[in-house]
């Protein structure tokens, strides 16, 4: 409700910001309702309420305060607090404001200048405003108009001084001329009558006012006190003639209630008798219910300035104090709520930005900065389409493509939409966006909260899966088509009758082709099943002690005919000796790793090339390197070669048939054996795949 920053200042620190996500709509509504209730309480308070920020700028005044000074509330907001006083009081006000910054609460009388130029006396109860971290953010003042009381005090002092002056003049004249004695006596009688009339009027005010009043002589003895003072303090015996020191030391003797003062009573008295007014002394009366009084002590002086007594006034400020405590608590809770929302705003995974009815960004969180490439200060004031450059997949931009119009016009939230954004650096990303309207007091859309998520990875995965399904379908269909074609040849008798004469050579070609395509189909299905088992944690590994050299030799012997068909030289360099090659592995799984890597090397090496297999022991591991002189892999694809679905556009696997799952399976199987695998390559020069397995001691 009360802001301690300038209302036109936009900042990112923890100012009042309106925020609402799809999840947070009920909480936002409660905050708005709570704020309305607070505003109604404060606007209709019987005391003037005035808040300023840390720079002394007015952030709020209620109707009572504005009426005191002859302004409207909105005319005072944004204006310096010090503009409503003359230079003498401005200097005093700045001293007081520095004390607020130190966290000191106090009350004092203060003089303001009304809009019409007249002066108004007020009694101010001022308190510092701090945020949850204890940082000073402004000050709160509760004000009461005491002009009438001030005028009465001034009139009393003036009347007393005038009387003294007249008495002195008359006495001097009597000394000079006895002939004027009778006239002087008459004038004295007349003056006394005026004084009696004034005293009578003052007595009426003295007895009828709701403020407790006490008059003390120059020794601090009680001369007079009014009924209001008796009621406020619960005076149970006459205190006329009793010194204040006696009362201060024996309050339970004179008062019905325990009285708690927040000052040193005798020091205050000493200060007043030195000629200084002391205001805003807080006194707590422990009645049922407790009440708070605010005391002001004014020295009573002769015209010469000599102090001859003291006037004490006591005002019941229980309601004001209760309101102050309540408002302070409400402000503290509101600040906590604001801090909570700010923490959520800044730390959610999604980008959040707020736009006004003109589509201009008024606030954005850190994630929005990362997703757009702009800092928040660069975004503020720009339209959302300038920052995010949203468009559809056909390249249609704003204003033809404007996803927020519906929310602005209808006031309905847009739960989720997907479209493309272009970042500051030119990157194009897919985003999922939701828009939620924030309404003003009249129920019109005031702002929109946009929640933005980067779904590029999801889109890429969907595309990869789609391409993989297409690829897998093609790979499954191709061998089936070949098998079906050759079986048709057999069944149609084009290569001879099965139950009669048949061309043996043609029959063997057909049979081998069917067998080859069946193996290819089986390999693809097995790859798919292995991926499924790996991802679901169902892959079984049967560890056995195995001589690694024997396992490699078996794989090389199986693949040597394939290499010879392409005139590829298969080279082996075994640096293991003795019992250095004993490993704990699943023999079949590691053979699958070797087959995948060596077969790939052969497939992607041109005829007449070379494939080299080296394995050696180092640091308790067997390291195996399979290098080739093949086509190589582009550097930007190297980090992804062990991922699934690597038959996407631009993949180095595109030139050869395969599922795109082989290297993913290799990496998974090696890691199941507590090993590591990596790839190195140079385009058009060849590749090298390396994996390690832990050695074990032969026992």
CATH of the domain at 619: 3.30.565.10
Cα–Cα distance for residue pair 245/273, rounded to 1 Å = 14
Q: Are 285 and 232 in contact (CB under 8 A)?
A: yes
- Smallest Cα–Cα separation from 283: which of 224, 215, 211? 211
Cα–Cα distance for residue pair 263/250, rounded to 1 Å = 16
Q: How far is CA 464 from the centre of its chain?
A: 36
Cα–Cα distance for residue pair 255/4, rounded to 1 Å = 42
Among 289, 317, 345, identify where a domain stops: 317
Q: Do residues 239 and 358 both lie within one domain?
A: no
Q: Do residues 294 and 341 both lie within one domain?
A: no
Say whether 680 sits in a helix, a strand or coil: strand
Q: Do residues 371 and 276 both lie within one domain?
A: no
Q: Do residues 432 and 555 both lie within one domain?
A: no
Phi/psi at 564 (nearest 5 deg)? -65, -30
Is 473 among the domain residues?
no
Percent of the chain having pLDDT more than 70?
80
Is 497 among the domain residues?
no
- Smallest Cα–Cα separation from 103: which of 54, 161, 46, 65? 54
Say whether 625 sits in a helix, a strand or coil: strand
Is 470 among the domain residues?
no
Tracing tokens 């004084």 back to the chain, one arrives at 195
Q: Do residues 388 and 254 both lie within one domain?
A: no
Res 27: pLDDT:
74
Containing 546, the helix (H) or strand (E) segment is strand 544-547
Res 582: pLDDT:
87
Q: Do residues 573 and 628 both lie within one domain?
A: yes
Say whether 293 sits in a helix, a strand or coil: strand
Say whether 329 sits in a helix, a strand or coil: helix
Question: For residue 535, what are its two tokens?
Answer: 């991802």
Cα–Cα distance for residue pair 320/627, rounded to 1 Å = 87
Domain count, the chain: 4
Containing 572, the helix (H) or strand (E) segment is strand 569-574
Res 314: pLDDT:
92
Q: Do residues 215 and 134 both lie within one domain?
A: no
Is 480 among the domain residues?
no
Is 463 among the domain residues?
no
Cα–Cα distance for residue pair 127/577, rounded to 1 Å = 86
Cα–Cα distance for residue pair 147/276, rounded to 1 Å = 19
Write out residues in the chain with pLDDT < 70, as ranges.
Answer: 1-26, 174, 178-181, 338-339, 341-347, 393, 398-399, 461-507, 510, 513, 515-517, 519-521, 523-525, 527-528, 532, 535-536, 578-579, 645-659, 697-699
Q: Do residues 370 and 439 both lie within one domain?
A: yes
Query: In sequence order, which residues have a C-beta less than 8 Å from that of residue 364 and are 6 or more positions away?
Result: 351, 352, 353, 354, 372, 376, 379, 380
Is 140 among the domain residues?
yes
Which domain, by its residues, includes 126?
Answer: 32-151
Among 419, 452, 485, identify where a domain stops: 452
Q: Do residues 669 and 576 both lie within one domain?
A: yes
Residue 224 belongs to a domain with what CATH number? 3.30.450.20
Q: Are 211 and 313 in contact (CB under 8 A)?
A: yes
Res 46: pLDDT:
81
Q: Do residues 548 and 689 both lie within one domain?
A: yes
Q: Are 436 and 22 in contact (CB under 8 A)?
A: yes
Is 642 among the domain residues?
yes
Q: Do residues 59 and 138 both lie within one domain?
A: yes
Q: Are 239 and 247 in contact (CB under 8 A)?
A: yes
Among 414, 431, 452, identify where a domain stops: 452
Is 259 among the domain residues?
yes
Dump pLDDT digits (tens) for 295-305. 999 999 988 98
Q: Do residues 445 and 340 both lie within one domain?
A: yes
Alpha-helical (H) ranges within 493-547 are: 504-536
């Amino acid at each position: 409700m009360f802001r301690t920053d300038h209302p036109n200042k936009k900042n990112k620190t923890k100012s009042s910001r309106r925020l609402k996500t799809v999840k947070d709509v009920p909480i936002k509504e409660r905050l708005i309702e709570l704020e309305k209730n607070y505003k109604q309480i404060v606007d209709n308070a019987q005391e003037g309420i005035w808040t300023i920020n840390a720079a002394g700028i007015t952030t709020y005044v209620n109707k009572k305060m504005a009426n005191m000074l002859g302004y409207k509330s909105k005319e005072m907001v944004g204006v310096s607090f010090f503009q409503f006083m003359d230079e003498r009081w401005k200097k005093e006000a700045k001293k007081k404001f520095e004390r607020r910054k130190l966290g000191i609460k106090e009350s004092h009388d203060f003089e303001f200048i009304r809009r019409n130029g007249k002066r108004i006396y007020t009694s101010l109860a001022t308190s510092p405003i701090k945020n949850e971290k204890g940082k000073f953010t402004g000050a709160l003042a509760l004000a009461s108009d005491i002009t009438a009381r001030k005028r009465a005090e001034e009139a009393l002092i003036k009347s007393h001084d005038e009387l003294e002056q007249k008495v002195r003049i008359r006495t001097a004249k009597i000394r000079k001329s006895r002939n004027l004695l009778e006239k002087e006596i008459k004038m004295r009688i007349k003056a006394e009558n005026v004084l009696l009339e004034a005293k009578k009027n003052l007595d009426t005010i003295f007895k009828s006012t709701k403020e407790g009043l006490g008059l003390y002589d120059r020794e601090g003895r009680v001369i007079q006190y009014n009924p209001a003072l008796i009621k406020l303090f619960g005076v149970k015996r006459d205190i006329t003639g009793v010194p204040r020191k006696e009362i201060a030391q024996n309050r339970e003797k004179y008062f019905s209630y325990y009285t708690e003062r927040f000052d040193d009573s005798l020091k205050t008295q000493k200060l007043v008798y030195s000629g200084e007014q002391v205001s805003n002394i807080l006194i707590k009366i422990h009645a049922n219910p407790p009440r708070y009084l605010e005391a002001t002590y004014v020295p009573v002086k002769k015209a010469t300035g000599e102090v001859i007594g003291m006037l004490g006034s006591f005002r019941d400020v229980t309601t004001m104090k209760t309101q102050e405590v309540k408002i302070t608590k409400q402000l503290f809770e509101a600040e906590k709520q604001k801090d909570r929302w700010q923490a959520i705003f800044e730390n959610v995974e999604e980008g959040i930005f707020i736009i006004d009815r003109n589509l201009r960004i008024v606030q954005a969180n850190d994630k929005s900065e990362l997703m757009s490439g702009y800092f928040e200060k660069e975004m503020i004031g720009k339209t959302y389409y300038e920052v995010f450059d949203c468009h559809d997949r056909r390249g249609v931009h704003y204003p033809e493509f404007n996803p927020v119009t519906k929310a602005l016009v209808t006031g309905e939230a847009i739960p989720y939409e997907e479209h493309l954004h272009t970042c500051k650096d030119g990157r194009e990303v897919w985003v999922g966006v939701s828009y939620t309207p924030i309404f003003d007091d009249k129920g019109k859309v005031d702002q929109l909260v946009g929640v933005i998520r980067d779904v590029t990875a999801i889109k890429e995965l969907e595309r990869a899966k789609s391409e993989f399904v297409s690829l897998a379908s093609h790979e499954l269909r191709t061998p089936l088509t070949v098998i079906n074609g050759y079986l048709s040849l057999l069944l149609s008798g084009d290569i001879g009758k099965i139950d009669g004469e048949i061309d043996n050579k043609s029959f063997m070609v057909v049979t081998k082709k069917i067998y080859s395509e069946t193996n290819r189909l089986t390999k693809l299905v097995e790859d798919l099943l292995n991926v499924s088992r790996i991802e679901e944690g169902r892959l079984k590994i049967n560890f056995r002690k195995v001589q690694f050299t024997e396992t490699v030799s078996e794989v090389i012997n199986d693949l040597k005919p394939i290499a010879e068909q392409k005139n590829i030289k298969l080279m082996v360099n075994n640096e293991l000796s003795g019992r250095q090659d004993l490993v704990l592995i699943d023999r079949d799984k590691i053979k699958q790793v070797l087959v995948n890597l060596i077969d790939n090397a052969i497939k992607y090496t041109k005829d007449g090339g070379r494939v080299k297999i080296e394995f050696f022991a180092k640091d308790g591991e067997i390291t195996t390197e399979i290098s080739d002189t093949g086509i190589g892999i582009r550097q930007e694809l190297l980090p992804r070669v062990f991922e699934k679905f690597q038959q996407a556009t631009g993949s180095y696997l595109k030139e050869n048939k395969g599922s795109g799952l082989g290297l993913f399976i290799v990496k998974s199987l090696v890691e199941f054996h507590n090993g590591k695998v990596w790839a190195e390559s140079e385009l058009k020069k060849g590749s090298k795949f390396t994996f390690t397995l832990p050695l074990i001691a032969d026992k």
